Amino acid sequence: MSGASAEGATRAARPIASSRRAGFGFDLHARASTSRARLGTFHTPHGAVETPAFMPVGTKGTVKGVFPRDLRAVGSTMILANTYHLHLRPGEALVKELGGLHRFMDWDGPILTDSGGYQVFSLGHIAKIDDDGVTLRSVVDGALVRFTPRGVIDIERALGADVAMAFDQCPADPTARADVEAACERTRRWLELCVRRHRELGAEETGQALFGIVQGGIFADLRRANLEAAVAHDLVGYAVGGVSVGEDRDHVRAGIDASAPFLPEDRPRYLMGVGTPEDFFDAIERGIDLFDCVTPTRHARNHNAFTSRGKVNLRNGGWKRDGAPLDPECDCVACTRYSKGILRHLCTSEEMLGPMLLTLHNLRFFHRLMERIRAAIAADRLLELRAEALPAMNARLSPDAAGDAE
Amino acid sequence: MSGASAEGATRAARPIASSRRAGFGFDLHARASTSRARLGTFHTPHGAVETPAFMPVGTKGTVKGVFPRDLRAVGSTMILANTYHLHLRPGEALVKELGGLHRFMDWDGPILTDSGGYQVFSLGHIAKIDDDGVTLRSVVDGALVRFTPRGVIDIERALGADVAMAFDQCPADPTARADVEAACERTRRWLELCVRRHRELGAEETGQALFGIVQGGIFADLRRANLEAAVAHDLVGYAVGGVSVGEDRDHVRAGIDASAPFLPEDRPRYLMGVGTPEDFFDAIERGIDLFDCVTPTRHARNHNAFTSRGKVNLRNGGWKRDGAPLDPECDCVACTRYSKGILRHLCTSEEMLGPMLLTLHNLRFFHRLMERIRAAIAADRLLELRAEALPAMNARLSPDAAGDAE
């Protein structure tokens, strides 16, 4: 279902830009003419990722409710795990002892570990940040835990993902300039420490790349300065962080505009923790290649589905007698083997199969959207795809409207 | 993985005994020489079931935590659903409207619906039984619900399983003779009403068989009388009910001994709600062909696994660093792709994937055990298999013992 071969056929014989280092590399195949959208391939020791791509989140070493085999079947190529959660339980030493993160997650494709910087932001009420790192209480057993730039790189090295994210500070309020400035300064200094530790460990030569993270909140000058300090390290890839943390959509767009265009064109660009179909179009048009978010999996567990015709809340009583598929355009098991009425029964009965099916559907929906976006960039018609597809996806599908339509 | 072809090779060219009616039938292929164990094939409109067989329970229209495709892969051939639960939610009319039970469960193999008799027993505190039926409060919305023999057959006909169970009364205390006698009398009269309604509906001709249920508690004479009344109806199959409802193992065996040998040899014999590997050997040696129980799926959700080396509680801290498979003799995804240490992490982290994997494992374990039992009956060495396999299965596997063994 991945559509990779179709993409191959539309590519130029040679990339427009390319980087190669150890087991990593990035090929830029095409640029859109009406936006900064890019078509690329990110190469890792565990395989290639066609970009733009969405990476499902496997916080504690499992994408919730999904067998790894089925992840592959719905089109996932690269997945995430969370350094913070795996450090607390079961601990990186045990993950390593049990065979490393790929074995632990039963996933032989590329994996990326975040660094815990975002968890520090989201757990701010129990975290104490100083110039050298962060101290917080474990949500597992209440113990005090210390995260430092060097320490996080050591944890990520032991976990063994293909991509380790640098330890950054995500400012709590992206509009508070003094706080953002301080966070940028820490992020800059911590990145130096991360890069040094990563080199000491010889990580890149043994299969693990380091990505730097650009902070700067809504301030273009701070983002630019933070970005240039990061790019000076000549890393395998870069991320845009601290975006979509509560600010409005215009500020989100401005934050990406102040970052992505200035990143080297031959390296992958990853927008952290985003998001929704509209976010994807916004960010891809601004030059982003990689995404991760818990939206598809978390929404599924709350019985909410993304579809080509709008968002569907399966608990809505109006779906009770609905014999039509959740999304007639989708090829996933939930859409080809079940009707909305049956899915609703599974959800209202609190059966595991409801979230299991909806998780596969939502992931398939996100991956299919990325496939369509890649095809549209190749055909240089991304804006047309946005105009055709996004308004319906953004709507909420109500049972009455569906009844009219079918 | 089903081993059906291997079984075919060991069979006599023609069955010892056989019955055929509408889309149903039973072939008796072999009998053990040292016990009443039988090897058979139960034919239904949705396919054949090699017996002895275990049927997973899909109470509310889904075997909890399992995709139907994976049920097939671990060796399930026939599954159950619960009339009582599906009547309360979503209601048999809606199941029928949405395509019937096979569509509803995405299962194109045989399905059996119980009749609610056992739920009346297990929900005795909220049920009021009279000579004509049972009144109880819905666990879904608190409404008063009435079950009668005719009404239950109507519900089961609307659901559309291959096999409908008659509505019986399972006495609360199988050792209280007066109560058991009263329950037998009701079960006998209710079976007449069920048979009459089932014939009025022309159910058998349109793909649904009726099984009668034999009650009688621990009393051989009551069981024999109840059985003869049931057999007089010349049904497609028969069940032994009211066994393993709290009485000791000797009484369980006696209850089966007082029933199974007197059932017609050319009809399938189903022991309801049982149970464990030891139960299977006990009952198969006494002439039982079919089983259902929630043990494999419920134990899995409680992080307990059945293995060839004993029962395993995955939450036990001793498995933390265990890099060995759960059951080295098992070919399921949990045993071939994960170690006990990783499974333990998934369970202690309360991740869905833990129960999802353990459910597949426990079902595979039960089905593999039945495959081994069928092969042993064919080779007339069932007692040897019991002596070789059961003691280890019955033990509790402790991490220290496992450490010594590995």
> What are the pLDDT digits (tens) for A298-316?
999 999 999 999 999 999 9
Give the pLDDT band (50/70/90) at residue B307.
very high
Cβ contact B98–A69 (<8 Å)? no
Cβ contact A355–B352 (<8 Å)? yes
pLDDT tens digits for range A162-179: 999 999 999 989 999 999
Instruction: Give CA–CA dist B65/B354, Å, rounded.
Output: 10
Selecting from B69, B98, B321 the residue whose C-beta is nearest the C-beta of A342 gives B98
Q: CA nearest B45: which of B182, B189, B214, B164? A: B164
| A198: closest CA of chain B, how far (Å) | 27
Three-state DSSP state, A54: strand
Q: Does B64 touch chain A (CB under 8 A)?
A: yes
Geometric angle at alpha carbon A247, from A243 and A252, rounded to 5°: 45
Give the pLDDT band (50/70/90) at residue B12.
low
Look at residue A336 in the predicted model and tell me its pLDDT.
98
Phi, psi of A237 (to 5 degrees): -160, 170
Contacts of B231 (CB under 8 A, 6+ apart): B212, B238, B262, B263, B264
Look at residue A122 in the predicted model and tell me its pLDDT.
80
Selecting from A94, A106, A356 the residue whose C-beta is nearest the C-beta of B338 gives A106
Cβ contact B62–A341 (<8 Å)? no
Residue B406 scores a pLDDT above 50 = no
Phi, psi of A286 (to 5 degrees): -100, 10
- The pLDDT of B264-276, averaged and rounded, is 97
| A9: closest CA of chain B, how far (Å) | 34
What string of DSSP letters covers A173-211? -TT-HHHHHHHHHHHHHHHHHHHHHHHHTTTGGGT-EEE
Look at residue A119 in the predicted model and tell me its pLDDT.
81
Residues of A in contact with B338 (CB under 8 A): 106
Closest residue in A to B340 (Cα) is A98
Selecting from B321, B352, B356 the residue whose C-beta is nearest the C-beta of A94 gives B321
Match 């068989």 to its residue by tokens: B209
Residue B403 scores a pLDDT above 80 = no
Instruction: Give CA–CA dist B105/A313, Å, rounded.
Output: 21
What CA–CA distances, in Å, run from B100 to A244, B82, B86, B161, B233?
46, 14, 12, 8, 27
Q: Does A128 touch chain B (CB under 8 A)?
A: no
Could you tell me the two tokens for B403?
Answer: 């450490």
Known active-site residue A132: no
Closest residue in B to A317 (Cα) is B90
Selecting from A66, A98, A323 the residue whose C-beta is nearest the C-beta of B339 gives A98
Look at residue A406 in the predicted model and tell me its pLDDT.
35
The type of residue at B163 is: V
Query: H-helix or E-strand containing A225?
Result: helix A220-231
Interface of A with B in 87-126 (CB under 8 A): 89-90, 94, 97-99, 103-104, 106
Residue B283 scores a pLDDT above 90 = yes
Residue B119 scores a pLDDT above 90 = no
Instruction: Give CA–CA dist A231/A337, Å, rounded.
Output: 48
Closest residue in A to B106 (Cα) is A337
The model carries a pTM of 0.96
**Cβ–Cβ under 8 Å, residues B255 and B283:** no
Q: CA nearest B278: which of B393, B159, B162, B109? A: B393
Annotate A201-213 with b (16+ C-beta within 10 A) or e (fewer): bebbeeebbbbbb
**Cβ–Cβ under 8 Å, residues A379 and A362:** no
Helix ranges (DSSP H) in A275-381: 277-284, 295-301, 333-337, 340-348, 353-378
**Cβ–Cβ under 8 Å, residues A282 and A299:** no
Chain A interface mutation, best of B342, B347, B361, highest count of A Cβ atoms under 10 Å: B342
Look at residue A394 in the predicted model and tell me its pLDDT.
96
Q: CA nearest A170: which of A137, A213, A131? A: A213
Chain B interface mutation, best of A87, A88, A94, A98, highest count of B Cβ atoms under 10 Å: A98
Closest residue in B to A297 (Cα) is B352
Look at residue A404 in the predicted model and tell me its pLDDT.
40
**Other Cβ atoms closer than 10 A to B6:** 12
Instruction: Give CA–CA dist B167/B149, Å, rounded.
Output: 5
Cβ contact B104–A353 (<8 Å)? no
Catalytic residue among A70, A162, A292, A327: A292
Instruction: Give CA–CA dist B234/B80, Å, rounded.
Output: 23
- The pLDDT of B147-171, averaged and rounded, is 97
Phi, psi of A20 (to 5 degrees): -140, 135
Beta strand B163-165 pairing with B127-130: unpaired
Contacts of B296 (CB under 8 A, 6+ apart): B56, B306, B359, B362, B363, B365, B366
Known active-site residue A292: yes
Residues of A in contact with B320 (CB under 8 A): 90, 94
Provide the β-strand partners of residue A313. Answer: A304
Instruction: Give CA–CA dist B406/B396, Å, rounded.
Output: 16
Selecting from A60, A97, A337 the residue whose C-beta is nearest the C-beta of B321 gives A97
Instruction: Give CA–CA dist A216/A243, Å, rounded.
Output: 9
The type of residue at A223 is: R
pLDDT tens digits for range A391-400: 999 999 999 7
Of chain A, the percentage scoring pLDDT greater than 70 comes to 96
What string of DSSP letters covers A4-34? HHHHHHHS-SS-SEEEEETTEEEEEEEE-SS
Cβ contact A323–B352 (<8 Å)? no
Residue B151 scores a pLDDT above 70 = yes
Phi, psi of B232 (to 5 degrees): -60, -20
Provide the β-strand partners of residue A50. Answer: A41
Q: Does B384 touch chain A (CB under 8 A)?
A: no
Catalytic residue among A114, A282, A289, A327: A114
Cβ contact B352–A65 (<8 Å)? yes
Beta strand A290-292 pairing with A269-271: parallel
Interface of A with B in 347-376 (CB under 8 A): 348-349, 351-353, 355-356
| B105: closest CA of chain A, how far (Å) | 9
What CA–CA distances, in Å, run from A68 to A79, B293, B326?
10, 28, 18
Phi, psi of B127 (to 5 degrees): -115, 145
- The pLDDT of A34-48, averaged and rounded, is 98
Q: Whole-number mean pLDDT of chain B?
A: 94
Interface of A with B in 310-349 (CB under 8 A): 320-321, 323, 333, 337-339, 341-342, 345-346, 348-349
Of chain B, the percentage scoring pLDDT greater than 90 comes to 88
pLDDT tens digits for range A190-245: 999 999 999 999 999 999 999 999 999 999 999 999 999 999 999 999 999 999 98
Residue B61 scores a pLDDT above 60 = yes
Interface of A with B in 287-306 (CB under 8 A): none
Instruction: Give CA–CA dist B110/B164, Å, rounded.
Output: 11
- The pLDDT of B391-402, averaged and rounded, is 87
**Catalytic residue set of B:** 114, 292
**Cβ–Cβ under 8 Å, residues B358 and B300:** yes
Selecting from A65, A106, A348 the residue whose C-beta is nearest the C-beta of B337 gives A106
Give the range among A26-35, A112-121, A185-194 with minimum mean pLDDT: A112-121
Cβ contact A355–B356 (<8 Å)? no
Geometric angle at alpha carbon A16, from A11 and A17, rounded to 5°: 125
Phi, psi of A224 (to 5 degrees): -60, -45
Could you tell me the two tokens for B26?
Answer: 């039973």
Look at residue B124 in the predicted model and tell me its pLDDT.
73
Closest residue in B to A323 (Cα) is B98
Cβ contact A356–B351 (<8 Å)? no
Q: CA nearest A187: which of A146, A145, A133? A: A133
Q: What separation, in Å, do the N-terminal and C-terminal C-alpha atoms of chain A show? A: 26
**Cβ–Cβ under 8 Å, residues A353 and B65:** yes
- The pLDDT of A155-167, averaged and rounded, is 98
3-state SS, chain B, equals CCCHHHHHHHCCCCCCEEEEECCEEEEEEEECCCCCCEEEEEEECCEEEEECEEECECCCCCCCCCCHHHHHHCCCCCEEEEHHHHHHCCCHHHHHHCCCHHHHCCCCCCEEEECCHHHHHHCHHHEEEECCEEEEECCCCCCEEEECHHHHHHHHHHHCCCEEECCCCCCCCCCCHHHHHHHHHHHHHHHHHHHHHHHHCCCHHHCCEEEEEECCCCCHHHHHHHHHHHHCCCCCEEEECCCCCCCCHHHHHHHHHCCHHHCCCCCCEEECCECCHHHHHHHHCCCCCEEECCHHHHHHHCCEECCCCCEEECCCHHHCCCCCCCCCCCCCHHHHHCCHHHHHHHHHCCCCHHHHHHHHHHHHHHHHHHHHHHHHHHCCCHHHHHHHHHHHHHCECCHHHHHHHC
Residue A24 scores a pLDDT above 50 = yes
Look at residue A231 in the predicted model and tell me its pLDDT.
98
Instruction: Give CA–CA dist A263/A189, Å, rounded.
Output: 19
Residue B71 scores a pLDDT above 60 = yes
Geometric angle at alpha carbon B77, from B74 and B78, rounded to 5°: 125
Q: Domains in chain B and their CATH numbers?
A: 25-293 (3.20.20.105), 299-405 (no CATH)
Cβ contact A65–B98 (<8 Å)? no
**Cβ–Cβ under 8 Å, residues B137 and B131:** no
Residue B7 scores a pLDDT above 90 = no
Q: CA nearest A340: which of B324, B98, B19? A: B98
DSSP state of A317: G
Instruction: Give CA–CA dist B191/B202, Å, rounded.
Output: 16
| A322: closest CA of chain B, how far (Å) | 8
Instruction: Give CA–CA dist A256/A35, Å, rounded.
Output: 13
Instruction: Give CA–CA dist B333/B73, Å, rounded.
Output: 10
Match 């319906």 to its residue by tokens: A392
Instruction: Give CA–CA dist A349/A343, Å, rounded.
Output: 10
Residue A3 scores a pLDDT above 50 = no
Q: Whole-number mean pLDDT of chain A?
A: 94
Look at residue A118 in the predicted model and tell me its pLDDT.
81
**Cβ–Cβ under 8 Å, residues A13 and A254:** no
Q: CA nearest A176: which of A213, A209, A219? A: A219
pLDDT tens digits for range A238-270: 999 999 988 999 999 999 999 999 999 999 999
| B95: closest CA of chain A, how far (Å) | 8
Of chain A, the percentage scoring pLDDT greater than 90 comes to 88
Provide the β-strand partners of residue B82. Answer: B114
Residue B90 scores a pLDDT above 50 = yes
